[in-house]
């Protein structure tokens, strides 16, 4: 038997309970799969929404269920057809998203295609903090936004799990980075690579930039899409994952000739390998605010739901 965090209903953080479950074995692995001993699982906002019955909860087959997608650990068994990974490899990834990944557990059966080898200089803690947040940042900035060297990008909510990685990715591309965050995060955002940090509790972004200087705005916060649209140049783009874009926002974007995109993250093999390379080179380092034992997953969820977490929260099985 091994430990896993389960829930028997949707609801608040208290529905999460630690349980002993049957340990997955090599005999249970199907083609293309591997068995991973989880060192750390990442906690993301989508986890809390799914736990409550929203987000991708409808993709789970029934109760009891185990949530979680981000993980880092060591492979203990592989299917015969898997040649890209081997036993004892340290790996990280976003398991099966948006389908059940069941990462809140000591052992997880995952698709080998969802995992990358953890670079030698990257710890399991750092690796577990990367997948969903870094993939979201990469796909929004690079794949959807087409951010290029010398362009100007505004990252709203830059102090959060996705935002702080987006700052580093944009900086590595060679963009001029403006980042918004709380008062306590201003100096930290500049340390991450922001050319300019703006305190959203004091300053109004549209008022500060009437000239509309940004080629790209990436909104990870609860700021309205309207604010980003108003500071984006004609022909530029607003990439918004805040779930706040309205029909009125899109009408304004049409008038101001700004493209608005609301992408959903997906597993991208090229992106996860690029992220691994950036982490190995020291150009992408996640900030881990706290690590909770798996048994305290409910408290980790409360912290996420309270907001203003700096960087990432992890669980240790």
pLDDT in tens, 46-59: 999 999 999 999 99
Mean pLDDT for the chain? 96
pLDDT, position 220: 95
Which has the closest alpha carbon to 162: 54, 233, 260, 70? 70
Greatest alpha-carbon span in the chain: 62
Nearest partner of 49 among 298, 244, 305, judged by Cα: 305
Q: What is the pLDDT of residues 185-201, one digit of tens each?
A: 999 999 999 999 999 99
**How many CB atoms neighbour CB 176 within 10 A?**
18
Region class of 41: left (phi > 0), else alpha (psi between -120 and 50), else beta? beta
Averaged over 116-136, what is the pLDDT?
Answer: 97
- What does the pLDDT look like over 229-278, one tens digit per residue? 999 999 999 999 988 899 999 999 999 999 999 998 888 888 999 999 99
Is residue 18 predicted with pLDDT exceeding 90?
yes
Q: What is the pTM of this model?
A: 0.95
The pLDDT assigned to 314 comes to: 98
Share of the chain above pLDDT 90, in %: 94
Confidence of residue 21 (pLDDT cuts 50, 70, 90): very high
How many distinct helices (H) and strands (E) make up the chain?
10, 15
Q: Using 50, 70 and 90 to split pLDDT, how confident is the model at 307?
A: confident
pLDDT for the residue numbered 308: 79
Q: Identify the structural domains of the chain with CATH numbers, from first to last.
A: 2-130+286-316 (3.90.180.10), 132-261 (3.40.50.720)
**How does residue 224 score in pLDDT terms, banded at 50, 70 and 90?**
confident
Residue 208: the pLDDT is: 97
| pLDDT tens-place string over residues 71-115 | 999 999 999 999 999 999 999 999 999 999 999 999 999 999 999
Query: Mean pLDDT over residues 165-192, rounded?
Result: 97
Q: At 126, is the pLDDT very low, low, confident or very high (cuts 50, 70, 90)? A: very high
How many Å apart are CA 162 and CA 299, to the nearest integer? 20
As a whole number of angstroms, the distance between CA 47 and CA 56 comes to 9
What local confidence, expressed as pLDDT, does residue 222 receive?
A: 82
Distance CA 299, CA 309 (A): 13
């Amino acid at each position: 038997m091994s430990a896993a965090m389960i829930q028997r209903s949707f609801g608040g953080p208290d529905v999460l309970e630690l349980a002993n479950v049957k340990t997955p074995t090599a005999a249970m692995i199907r083609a293309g799969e591997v068995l991973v001993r989880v060192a750390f699982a990442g906690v993301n906002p989508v986890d809390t929404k799914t736990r409550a019955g929203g987000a991708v909860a409808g993709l789970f087959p029934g109760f009891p269920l185990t949530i979680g997608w981000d993980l880092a650990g060591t492979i203990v068994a592989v299917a015969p057809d898997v040649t890209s990974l081997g036993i004892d490899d340290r790996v990280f990834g976003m398991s099966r998203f948006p389908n059940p990944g069941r990462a809140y557990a000591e052992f997880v059966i995952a698709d080998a295609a969802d995992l990358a080898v953890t670079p030698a200089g990257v710890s399991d803690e750092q690796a577990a903090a990367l997948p969903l947040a870094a993939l979201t940042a990469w796909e929004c900035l690079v794949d959807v936004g087409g951010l290029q060297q010398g362009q100007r990008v505004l990252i709203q909510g830059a102090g959060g799990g996705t935002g702080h990685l987006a700052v580093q990715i944009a900086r590595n591309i060679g963009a001029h980075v403006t980042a918004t965050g709380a008062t306590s995060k201003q100096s930290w955002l500049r340390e991450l690579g922001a050319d300019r940090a703006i305190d959203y509790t004091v300053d109004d972004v549209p008022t500060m930039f009437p000239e509309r200087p940004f080629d790209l705005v990436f909104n990870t916060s609860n700021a309205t899409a309207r604010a980003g649209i108003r500071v984006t140049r004609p022909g530029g783009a607003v990439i918004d994952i805040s779930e706040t874009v309205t029909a009125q926002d899109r009408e304004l974007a049409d008038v101001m000739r700004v493209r608005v995109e609301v992408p959903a993250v997906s597993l991208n093999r090229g992106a996860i390998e690029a992220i691994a390379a950036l982490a190995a080179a020291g150009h992408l380092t996640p900030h881990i605010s706290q690590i909770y034992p798996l048994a305290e997953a409910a408290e980790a969820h409360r912290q996420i739901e309270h907001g203003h977490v700096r960087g990432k929260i992890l669980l240790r099985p």
